[in-house]
């Protein structure tokens, strides 16, 4: 089974509007972390936001917020007030405490295009 599933290959949003990028995950480890990365065309993976499995509140970082629904195993990224510079690939990732050494499991990504 896929550890991370991103079902939206591509999304469009009007500039200044909000957009939600979906992510569901699969783990039996009670301790895990969820991450979102942005990858512009240059290729660099840029860390955006983190949510821990025991965190009581949804994470927020500036215009980014993570809608964490633990029972549904979803960790959607919400970008508010979209900007043209937000156009990029967005990857959801997970890391399990039992697997602390090594792997981040990544989804296949969502391509976001911000329309002027």
By CB under 8 A, name the binding residues for another protein.
4, 31-33, 35, 37, 42-47, 50, 52-55, 91, 93, 95, 97, 100-109
DSSP, residue by residue, 92-114: EEEEEGGGTTSPPEE---EEEEE
Cα–Cα distance measured from residue 12 to residue 15, given in angstroms and rounded to the nearest whole number: 10
Q: Which is nearer to another protein, 76 or 95 (CB)?
A: 95
Q: Which is nearer to another protein, 86 or 105 (CB)?
A: 105
Q: From the CB of 48, what's the least distance to another protein, in Å? A: 10
Q: Which is nearer to another protein, 95 or 114 (CB)?
A: 95
Reduce the DSSP state of residue 16 to 3 states and report it. Answer: coil
Cα–Cα distance measured from residue 30 to residue 54, given in angstroms and rounded to the nearest whole number: 8
Q: From the CB of 82, what's the least distance to another protein, in Å? A: 22
CA dihedral sign of residues 75, 51, 39, 12: positive
Q: From the CB of 69, what's the least distance to another protein, in Å? A: 17
Q: From the CB of 68, what's the least distance to another protein, in Å? A: 13
Asked if residues 107 and 45 have their Cβ atoms less than 8 Å apart, the reply is no
């Amino acid at each position: 089974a896929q550890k991370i599933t991103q079902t939206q290959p591509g999304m469009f949003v009007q500039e200044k509007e909000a957009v939600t990028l979906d992510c569901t995950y699969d783990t039996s480890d009670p301790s895990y972390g969820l991450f979102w990365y942005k990858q512009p065309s240059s290729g660099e993976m840029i860390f955006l936001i983190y949510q821990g499995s025991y965190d009581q509140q949804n994470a927020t970082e500036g215009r980014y917020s993570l809608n964490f629904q633990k029972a549904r195993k979803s960790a959607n990224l919400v970008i508010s007030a979209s900007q043209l510079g937000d156009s990029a690939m967005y990857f959801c990732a997970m890391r399990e405490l039992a697997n602390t050494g090594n792997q981040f499991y990544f989804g296949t990504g969502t391509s976001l295009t911000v329309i002027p």
